[in-house]
Every structure is written in structure tokens, then in C-alpha cells.
Structure 1
Amino acid sequence: MKTFTGMLLIVCLPALFFQTALAQDRKTALVPLPSIDDFTRGNDGWAFGLGLSIEYESAYEGSDEFGAEVDPAGAVQWRKGNNIFFWAGEALGWRGLHSDTWLIEAAVGFDEGREESDSDDGRLDGLGDGDEGAEFVLQARRAFDTDWRYWLDGRVVTGENGSLGLFGVGRRFGDQIDGTGHEIAIAVVFHDSEYANKDFGIDAEQSAASGLNETDLSGGFRSVGFNYNYRHSFNENWQIFGEAVYERYSSDIADSPITRNDYEAEIGVGFIYVF
């Protein structure tokens, strides 16, 4: 799972940014935020979205190597009123709307961990592969009004490899109520020592094998980031979406021998067909 989910700066033809009358005529999404996908079109029952995304991102946390990757996109969803149960990639969860201004989400996901081979330049040699593990995510978003123009975001991720917390504020643009349009957010991230050392710590055995200095990080402030999301519907079935992230690390993380860049960046674009 990514620490911070996504912002995309896309340069497209002006037509891509024009929201059609068809999109406005659709029923209201669970919440009108581009970052919260809702393929149900406001109807109860099953909904499916399937597509592909292309991401250009850091090879690993703190890396100065970048690469492109093609991944599946979409989800299987089942909606009942203001509740959606979903299976998306390696996450299984639920989200529900309460009092028109509270969105609560709970999910179980899987952290694949870092692999020594993630660095083509051999900068992870001797560090071994990171531990895989399940993660539990609990998120709450609170809108300032029912139009979800401005909102606050709180998130906790905890699992076998430690815990992380995020607090952010966001704004969406446009008047669409179907979950399309633009959205930006700013967030600060905190982690405990176990989560910090998962990606940036070096124990005695790793130090001897890699030649890097032994490093033991404490918990606390991790990073500050900026996020942008975009979603557009071409017609009843086809969507284009984009995301990008910029996350600036704290000085403690930047000083780790593993860290080659004091930031992480990601940009991606994809298409989804909604059945």
C-alpha cells in the first residue's frame, strides 16, 4: 500500500476537462470526490469497473531511481443505500456515508514489502527483502458542508510492520455530483518507530552485509505531502483518471543512508470501463 495516495498533473486536450451533460444527469455518487471511486451510478446492487493504469514512480521509499509500471485498475463493489462494500486490488473493505458530511472507511490490505532487487543500481544490496504483512486501514473524512467542497481527512494504518497516521485537508473543484472533476489535498504524516525502520532503518546484520551505517529511527513526524486527483467520464461506461503525489520527508528520514532523495514522487494515468 502506498503511504499517500495520489496526485496527477495531466496536460490533456481541453475537451477532457469539459464535463458533459450526461455526467450531470447521473445519480449522486456516495460522495462527489474524484479520489473515492463509485461505479454504482447511485444504484443499489453490484457494480464493476475494470481497466489499466500507467504509473511513473520512485522505485522504493527514498529512492532516486524512477520507473514506469502498468497495473490493473478498478474494483468490484456492492452498494446498499449509503454503504459500499468493495474489493480493489489487494484491499477488501467498506465505506459508508453518515449524516451527509461524514465518510467512514475500513479496509484490510496487504503490504508487499520492499525487495532488494527494487534498486537496479544495487543500492539495496545487503539489506535483504522487507517483511510482507497485512494492514488494517481506518479512515474518516468530514466535509464542511453537504456539497463536499472542503473536507478534513484522518487515516490510521496499522499492521504487522508498525503503524502510520495521516491528517489532511482537501478541496474539490467543479459542480459535478457524480464523482468526476478535480481535487487537491495537503497532508501531514506520522509513524511509529517500527514503521519508520521498516523502510529506512538498518540493523547490525544489514549494516555488516551492505556496508551502510547502522540506523535506528524513532517515531514521530514522517512527511508532508501534496495530492491531486482527477476523474472524467467520456460516456456512460468509459472513465479516465489521474493521480500524482509529492511527499517531502522529515530530516530524520532524509538522513538515513537508504534515502537517496528527500522526497517521494508518483504520477499516473489510467482508463476504466464501468460495466
Structure 2
Amino acid sequence: MIDVSGSRVIKVLGVSALSLFAIAAMADDTLGLSESLYSIGAPEITQAPSSTASPWRFSVGGGVVNMPKFPGASGTKWEGVPVVSASYDRFFIGSNPDAASILSLGAYLYRDSNWRIGAAVTYDFIQPRSESDDSRLQGLGDVKRTAHAELFGIYTYEFISARASVLTDIAGNDRGTVATFDVLGRYQPIPALTLSAGPGLTWASSKYNETYFGVTSEQSSRSGLPTYSAGSGLNELRFSVNGAYRITPRVNVGASVSFAWLRGDATDSPITEKTSQITYGLFLNYLF
């Protein structure tokens, strides 16, 4: 995000909208929501704060997101999400677009004019999957919220940004490990408007795929679905389109649409109804 105060241009570690790069979600809720936070929050061109600037940055806002009821669902649901963050120098808490997370606690390990590398602990804000979400899930049990350890890196050169992350469950809730890679191209037709778009992919461990797409013998007896074992591999391909508009130096709005296609063992799962998935949302935030 951009905050203009006199001649200062500073980066605020918050997000103005949702994802669709966000796409995907791991760090947060589903692969589709978290990555979207990055795609909408990341595109701004920023400079380091001046030596007289305060090291504190804050962002308060929220948004609405329309996303699949569960990975592989044909139906969708609406979710309201908060966008609240605070940062002090290299440390951050709350929403962070680089970590692609709504709930995060972390720090940047290295930053320069091109690179941002960091580590964070994140937690799911939205329940990843509940039996009550859809009749197809009856007997499968809920996929629980969990805490994740994440390493992420972003490289920006002129109008191109590339982001990679590795996220792993550290709370023992069978969410496994996922790795993502996304590239965004940025265009500013006017100074206040930033448009971005680009492709991405997600690799998932066997534990992650088993939790979301596998069906054990016990689940099969309860749900009526056939047993199914899912291994590790490419889980998703996606393409995101995002826009962020600075209404005032401190108020931003954003919108994002992400088109995702399940791949690998996720496509053949008896849980999967639809391999193409769309996530979109609108966000507003205030920076101070």
C-alpha cells in the first residue's frame, strides 16, 4: 500500500483487498484466499521510509470474498474478512500481503530494493472445510484450522513481481506442506490505479492432498463415497487479475478475481465436483 506524506512514499504492511492471487491459500484458509491477499496487496511501487519517518505502520479495513465452499466444490460461499495489521520496522502482525495471510506474526529476514525475504507463523481465519458446508461432505469430518510455519520470498524488478512460499502445518492437524510460486505483471494507467495479473501454481504434499481429497475406509463407510488415496504433486494452476485504487493518500480499495484449475490427484477425487474454481472479492482499508 502507499501512504503519501509530503515527499515521503512508504510501504505499509497491510492489504487493500482480496486475492486472487491470493489465490490459493495456504497460509490462510484455502489456497484461493491467501494468495489473493498478496496479489492485491503487493503491486504498489514503494521506497524505503525516510530517516525521520516513524517505524510504526497500521492498516484497518475489511472485505467480502466469494470462494468455493471447499476445494473442488461446484458451489460457492461468501465470507467477510478483516484486514487489520501493525508493523514495526521489519516485524509485523495481522494481515500481511507478502505472507499472503490474514492472521500472521513474523519478520523480514532481508530486504533491499528488489528482494523481500521473511518468515512467519500464520493461522487460518476461515474454517478450511466443514461437513455443514455441503451435503457432499457428510461423513468426511471437518478439516480443522491450524497454525503454519512459512518462509516466503518476493523479487521485484520494474513492473514484474515473483513470489514463492513454503508453508507447513505445525499444529498436527494433518494439513501437510504446500509450496506456491506466482508471477505478477503490474500496470499503472494513472498514479492512483494499479492493475496486475499473472499465473501461479501450487504443489502439495501427500498429507495435504489426503486431508482435502482422500477418502479413508472409515470416511467411505460414513459418507458412501469410494475410498481414495491422494499422493503429493502439482495441486493447482491459477491466473489472477487484480486492481487497487488509492482514493486518498490513506484510503485504498481493491478487487481481485482468481481462476484456478485443480491438477494431479485432486482431479480424480470422489470429493471433487468441479476442477475449475473461481474466487473473487472486494476490499477497503485505511492506512495510518
How does the TM-score come out when normalised to structure 1? 0.79
1:157 partner SS:
strand
3-state DSSP of counterpart to 1:207: helix
For 2:114 and 2:64, how far apart are their aligned partners in 1? Answer: 33
Q: In structure 2, what is the equivalent of residue 272 of structure 1?
A: 285
Shift of 1:106: 1.7
1:262, distance to aligned residue in structure 2 (A): 0.3
1:139 paired to 2:121: no
Aligned residues of 1:224 and 1:248 also touching (Cα < 8 A): yes
2:239 aligns to what?
A: 226
Residues 181 and 96 of structure 1, relative CA distance in 2, 3 Å threshold: farther
Equivalent position to 1:162, from 164, 176, 180: 176
Larger radius of gyration: 1
After TM superposition, the structure 1 = structure 2 runs for residues 108-147 of structure 1, keeping only pairs within 5 Å, are: 108-111=121-124, 112-119=127-134, 122-143=135-156, 145=157, 147=158
Structure 1 gaps of 5+ residues are 1-21
In 2, Cα distance between equivalents of 1:231 and 1:193: 36
**SS, match of residue 166 in structure 1:** strand
The 1:255–1:192 alpha-carbon spacing in structure 2 relative to 1, beyond 3 Å, is same
One-letter amino acid of the structure 2 residue matched with residue 114 of structure 1: R
Residue 186 of structure 2 is aligned with which of 152, 172, 175?
172
Contact 1:192 1:219 in 2 (8 A): yes
Structure 2 Cα separation of the partners of residues 142 and 52 of structure 1: 27
Alpha carbons of structure 1 residues 156 and 92: separation in structure 2 relative to 1, 3 Å: same
RMSD of the TM alignment (CA)? Answer: 3.0
In the alignment, the residues of structure 1 paired with residue 287 and residue 41 of structure 2 have an alpha-carbon distance, to the nearest angstrom, of 16
Using the TM superposition, give the Cα deviation of residue 244 of structure 1 relative to its aligned residue in structure 2, in angstroms: 2.1
Task: Kindly tell me the number of residue pairs found equivalent between the two proteins.
Answer: 245
What's the CA shift string for 1:176-228, capped at 9, x where partnerless? 899x6122221121111001111111111100000001111010111111122
Identity of aligned residues (%): 23
Deviation at 1:25, TM superposition (A): 5.4
Partner Cα separation in structure 2 for residue 273 and residue 28 of structure 1? 14
Query: d(CA) in 2 for partners of 1:126 and 1:52?
Result: 34
The 10-residue stretch of structure 1 (64-73 or 54-63) with the greater mean CA deviation from structure 2: 64-73
Equivalent residue number for residue 16 of structure 2? none
The aligned amino acid for 1:35 is G
Equivalent residue number for residue 15 of structure 1: none
